[in-house]
Amino acid sequence: MNRIFSGIQPTGNLHLGNYLGAIRNWVALQKDFECIFCIVDLHAITQPQDPKLLRAHTREVTAAYIACGIDAETVTIFNQSTVAVHSELAWILGCLTPLGWLNRMTQFKEKAGKQRDNAGLGLYAYPVLMAADILAYKATHVPVGEDQKQHLELARDIAGAFNRRYGIEYFPLPEPQIFGAATRVMSLRDGSKKMSKSDTSDMSRINLTDGPDQIAQKIKRAKTDPHPLPDDVKGLEGRPEAENLLGIYAALTSKSLEEAVREFAGAQFSTFKGALAGLSVEVLGRIGDEMKRLMADPAHVDSILRRGAERAGALAGTYLREVQDIVGFLRP
Ligand code: TYM
């Protein structure tokens, strides 16, 4: 049986990268897989969060899932902290994760920065909790953006470590699904930096709740280079901004990067940016409007999360009891 698990942190500023790298692909996959999509609030508190905003952002991410086209009737949508199994399984998996594996994680190194000793244990153990998220449901596939690849490799290693330690093929090794023309959307201000929720410049990203004027303005002011667009993909080498904007265009139109390059071969940036702005406003405007409509009814959003938590909790609970038996915990 094929089952998908994926999630997004409710840390605010949900952006085009989250849409093109993750949610958009989930919408396409939900027809063919049993899907569980989580709002990972336990992961969010690995960095300080304002409690009021954390609640608001949890509803906002839920609204985004639905506004982008996730079907809440067939898909399980819930926030991570409502299913205690995630934390319990993370402990068990943490006991068989060598520190050496965690020390390799580039995201920890980036986020902890030079003040490593001041970074929290939660930030360090973040990838173990992520493995627990996936394995709690014995998920076989995990659709994410490119930046999560290393964490998924670790989740596979941890699943393998559990199976080996207890001599049983219990956990499937989850497969990453990283696809589309925009698996790594870059900042609009700097083509060498990832588009990110935490970038201090709001001009660096297109938020899913931005209005049409903001979207158009951000694309118009996006960094470029002085040359016309190239005739083929090879001509994008050394031109990260051009590559990023064409990748976004390709992903939004469900074309390949090659096709997008062909369409605008030799064009000036101004012409291309006009087309990209129109397209972005059309796609994201619809999503933003629907998000706002959903967020105006928090009781409805909460009812979706409640139902999701029940379904998720029942499934994960069954597996956790099996894991406890395997590990040797007495259940008197
Ligand atoms: P998060 O909240 O940082 O991002 C959510 C999803 O968006 C993708 N993404 C991007 N894709 C393309 N371009 C970008 N600039 C970009 N920025 C973000 C991410 O790859 C991700 O798919 N650790 C995860 C959340 C998580 C998770 C999990 C994911 C927790 N448990 C279990 C999968 C399975 C994270 O921080 O995502």
Q: Nearest residue CA, atom 1 of ligand 1? A: 8
pLDDT, one tens digit per residue, over 10-35 is 999 999 999 999 999 999 999 999 99
Complete DSSP assignment for 90-117: HHHHHTT--HHHHHT-HHHHHHHTT-GG
Helices 269-295 and 212-220, interaxial angle, to 10°? 150
Supply the pLDDT for residue 107. 95
Residue boundaries of the structural domains of the chain: 3-182+297-327, 186-293
Query: What are the residue numbers of the active site?
Result: 111, 194, 197
pLDDT, one tens digit per residue, over 152-179 is 999 999 999 999 999 999 999 999 999 9
Fold of the 3-182+297-327 domain: Rossmann fold (3.40.50)
- pLDDT of 191 > 90? The answer is yes
The residue-averaged pLDDT of 48-77 equals: 98
pTM of this prediction exceeds 0.85: yes
Q: How many CB atoms lie within 10 A of CB 288?
A: 22
Supply the pLDDT for residue 115. 87
* Mean pLDDT lowest among 30-34, 116-120, 137-141, 227-231: 116-120
CB of 12 closer than 6 A to ligand 1?
A: no
Nearest-angstrom CA–CA distance, 65 and 35: 12
Supply the pLDDT for residue 211. 96
- pLDDT of 185 > 90? The answer is yes
Q: Does domain 186-293 have CATH number 1.10.240.10?
A: yes
Supply the pLDDT for residue 87. 98
1: pLDDT confidence band, cut at 50, 70 and 90?
A: confident
Closest ligand 1 atom to 8 CA: 2
pLDDT, one tens digit per residue, over 70-128 is 999 999 999 999 999 999 999 999 999 999 999 999 999 999 998 889 999 999 999 99
- pLDDT of 296 > 80? The answer is yes
Q: Nearest residue CA, atom 14 of ligand 1? A: 17
Q: Nearest residue CA, atom 16 of ligand 1? A: 17
> Within 13 A of 169's CA, how many CA atoms are on the CB side?
2
Nearest-angstrom CA–CA distance, 27 and 291: 16
Q: How confident is the prediction for the chain on average, in pLDDT?
A: 97
How far is the centre of ligand 1, averaged over its atoms, from the C-alpha of 318 (Å)? 27
